[in-house]
């Protein structure tokens, strides 16, 4: 069984986001980048499935500029087998990303596609669902546990009412929740080995699919600065403030 895991290079979650002076986007120059955290869970889950003897190969897929290969190398250092880099200099929308993943899946024919439930840079939470629809495969979103059972999988999902267990047939698409597992750290020997593992690079324009954006981004602005709170002496003053200044009652 072959596993395809998608990863994304994003601004590290510890970095304070800054908007460009011209409002054209978020500042990425000279900013620490790392693998999208939920994607780390997807890589870890793929490794555990392989270690359990239920998968033969783990392929890492990323889409982006040349620096995106660093994210693939991180996953290869964790234990994945090889990588595929779809090169593009543009920021693609979730639909375009899903089209590319579907195209790669048609060529590689994986049994399971694993990805993070959402990327922390745009929080769209759309790629997994769109990929499932394009491939006409079952989907299991927000997976907090995945159990492979022959040609099926039992996936536990976190929902508002608690936990939901669903049964999906292979092949399927799963988006991984942060509570699915604890991603491992890459050891130094594995980091060295990862440098020799193959990465197949293709240009996005060579795939023969339309990835042109459908949404025009006009401007990016920082949220308004939160106003400093005030102290009141009693309930009467609180009610007056809420009524006349905040106008919430």
Which sign does the torsion angle of CA 82, 11, 96, 144 carry? positive
Angle at 119 between CA 116 and CA 120, to 5 degrees: 125
pLDDT digits (tens, 9 = 90+) for 78-137: 999 999 999 998 888 899 999 999 999 999 999 999 999 989 888 888 899 999 999 999
Q: Write down the pLDDT at residue 214.
A: 87
The token pair at 90 is: 């543009």
235 domain-assigned? no
Contact 44, 178 (CB under 8 A): no
The token pair at 55 is: 């998968």
- The mean predicted confidence, pLDDT, of the chain is 90
Q: Write down the pLDDT at residue 131.
A: 95
Q: How many domains does the chain have?
A: 1
Which residue carries 């009467």 as its tokens?
236
- Cα distances (angstroms) measured from residue 55 to each of 60, 136, 143, 182, 225: 14, 22, 18, 20, 50
Residues 18-34 have a mean pLDDT of 84
Residues of the chain with pLDDT > 90: what percent?
57
Confidence bin at 230 (pLDDT 50/70/90) = confident
What is d(CA 46, CA 114) in angstroms, rounded to the nearest whole number? 7
Angle between helix axes 94-108 and 127-135 (nearest 10 degrees) is: 50
Q: Which residues contact 68 (CB under 8 A, 6 or more apart)?
A: 9, 62, 85, 87
247 domain-assigned? no
Here the CATH number for the domain that contains residue 78 is 3.40.50.620
66 domain-assigned? yes
178 domain-assigned? yes
Q: Write down the pLDDT at residue 20.
A: 85
Question: DSSP labels for 154-209?
Answer: EEEEEETTEEEEEEEESSEEEEE-GGG--PPPPPHHHHHHHTTS-EEEEEGGGG--
**Which stretches within the chain are classed as H helix?**
37-51, 69-78, 94-108, 127-135, 188-194, 235-240
232 domain-assigned? no
244 domain-assigned? no
- Cα distances (angstroms) measured from residue 185 to each of 71, 154, 197, 239: 14, 27, 18, 53
Q: Write down the pLDDT at residue 14.
A: 86
Contact 147, 45 (CB under 8 A): no
Q: Write down the pLDDT at residue 90.
A: 84
pLDDT digits (tens, 9 = 90+) for 34-87: 999 999 999 999 999 999 999 999 999 999 999 999 999 999 999 999 999 999
Query: Is the bond into 171 cis (omega within 30 degrees of 0)?
Result: yes
246 domain-assigned? no
Q: Which residue range is the domain that position 196 belongs to? A: 2-221
Q: Write down the pLDDT at residue 155.
A: 94
Cα within 13 Å of Cα(55), Cβ side: 27
234 domain-assigned? no
């Amino acid at each position: 069984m072959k596993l395809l895991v998608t990863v994304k290079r994003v601004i590290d979650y510890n970095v304070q986001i800054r908007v460009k002076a011209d409002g054209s986007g978020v500042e990425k120059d000279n900013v620490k980048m790392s693998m999208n955290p939920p994607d780390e869970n997807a890589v870890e889950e793929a490794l555990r499935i392989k270690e359990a003897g239920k998968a033969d190969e783990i392929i890492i897929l990323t889409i982006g500029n040349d620096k995106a290969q660093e994210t693939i190398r991180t996953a290869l250092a964790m234990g994945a087998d090889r990588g595929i880099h779809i090169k593009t200099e543009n920021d693609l929308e979730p639909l375009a990303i899903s089209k590319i993943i579907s195209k790669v899946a048609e060529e590689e024919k994986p049994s399971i596609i694993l990805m993070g439930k959402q990327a922390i840079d745009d929080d769209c939470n759309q790629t997994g669902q769109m990929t499932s629809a394009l491939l006409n495969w079952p989907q299991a979103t927000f997976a907090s546990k995945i159990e492979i059972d022959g040609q099926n999988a039992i996936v536990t999902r976190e929902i508002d009412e608690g936990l939901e267990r669903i049964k999906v047939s292979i092949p399927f698409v799963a988006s991984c929740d942060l509570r699915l597992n604890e991603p491992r750290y890459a050891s130094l020997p594995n980091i060295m080995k990862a440098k020799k593992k193959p990465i197949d690079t293709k240009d996005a324009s060579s795939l023969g699919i339309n990835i042109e954006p459908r949404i025009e981004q006009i401007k990016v602005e920082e949220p308004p600065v939160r106003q400093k709170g005030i102290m009141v002496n009693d309930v009467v003053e609180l009610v007056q403030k809420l009524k006349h200044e905040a106008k919430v009652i």
